[in-house]
Amino acid sequence: MSRPSVVLLTGGLGGARLAPRLRDVLNQGKLSIVANVGDNLMWHGLLVCPDLDSVAYALAGLWDSERGWGLRDETFRVRDTLADLHQRPWFNVGDRDLALHLLRTDHLRSGYSLTDATQELSRRLGITSVEMLPASDESNETYVLLEDSRLLHFQEWYVREQADPKLGEVRLAGGMASKAAVHTIESADAVILGPSNPITSIGAILALDGIEEAIRSAPRRIAVSPVVVGVEPNDAGVRHHALARRRALATVGRVDTPGAIAGLYAGLAELLLIDNFDVGETEEVRRAGLQPVQADLLDPAALAETLADLCT
């Protein structure tokens, strides 16, 4: 297969790191991104879509890879002015990032679906060779029930509370997947479950009606472990994600290891890419019914090469 059509299901950070590399190595193949919308948030009347936006900014070469979200060279004067007006926001929307949320919200108010608005914004960001798709057109936001019984929006827990409080339950909204996402997955040669949170990112996409069935019809189905057990993350953003992942996995009685995560993808993915450091996980991955494939998960370019080989 010389020009495969590949779909990457993804959250924000994992997708933003991988998608530009995958685009580069797929050569003439077609790459579509189906991004989680469970993390979406209404912020002062504007719809913010963190996962879609991280991947779109990364594809446009504008993403702040050190912070792990938003735009490079960002300023936060609107946020600071809100604080001066005694409205201290816990969610830090940058001044330049704000432009995207203003435009998206205008489009939605004038009757565009989120799919149409996303395609229009991608075009304006200069993304030409990758199709960007929200997993759903509905407002399917994720809530979490804390062990102390508070019910919070995902971003209240993740950002305001730094993903620190333990979770009793992750409440994925479910609902309808977007028609475009289902159609694109159904007609793909290969579907990749990206290295994102298996519960709140990939799990939120899989919980949408029509997605799992569409994935099963794809000839190649590859999952990537979001965790490398053998390497302690030295980056604060990655540690924040790792804590959120541990907390979310604990709600379904699982630990944050490739072997435990494999069980969540059993019957859906055929292969699980695990890091070369995690060779000790291979038996548990096999026991869960997936074929382990060793790769360099810490180098997005090397990971993209491995994925492209498996997709073609």
Where on the chain is the footprint of ligand FO1 (CB under 6 A)?
A: 11-13, 39, 48, 50, 53, 69-70, 91-93, 97, 155, 158-159
Nearer to ligand FO1, 16 or 211 (CB): 16
Nearer to ligand FO1, 114 or 285 (CB): 114
**C-alpha closest to that of 58 among 130, 159, 113:** 130
Q: How far is the CB of 160 from ligand FO1 (least distance, A)?
A: 9
Nearer to ligand FO1, 5 or 142 (CB): 142
Q: How far is the CB of 42 from ligand FO1 (least distance, A)?
A: 12
Q: How far is the CB of 80 from ligand FO1 (least distance, A)?
A: 13
Report the residue count for the chain: 312
Q: How far is the CB of 223 from ligand FO1 (least distance, A)?
A: 18
**Beta strands across the sheet bearing 271-275:** 130-134, 30-35, 5-10, 190-193, 220-224, 271-275, 291-295
Q: How far is the CB of 91 from ligand FO1 (least distance, A)?
A: 5
Nearer to ligand FO1, 141 or 281 (CB): 141
Nearer to ligand FO1, 25 or 206 (CB): 206
Nearer to ligand FO1, 159 or 272 (CB): 159
Q: How far is the CB of 13 from ligand FO1 (least distance, A)?
A: 6
Two structure tokens written together for 71:
């735009």
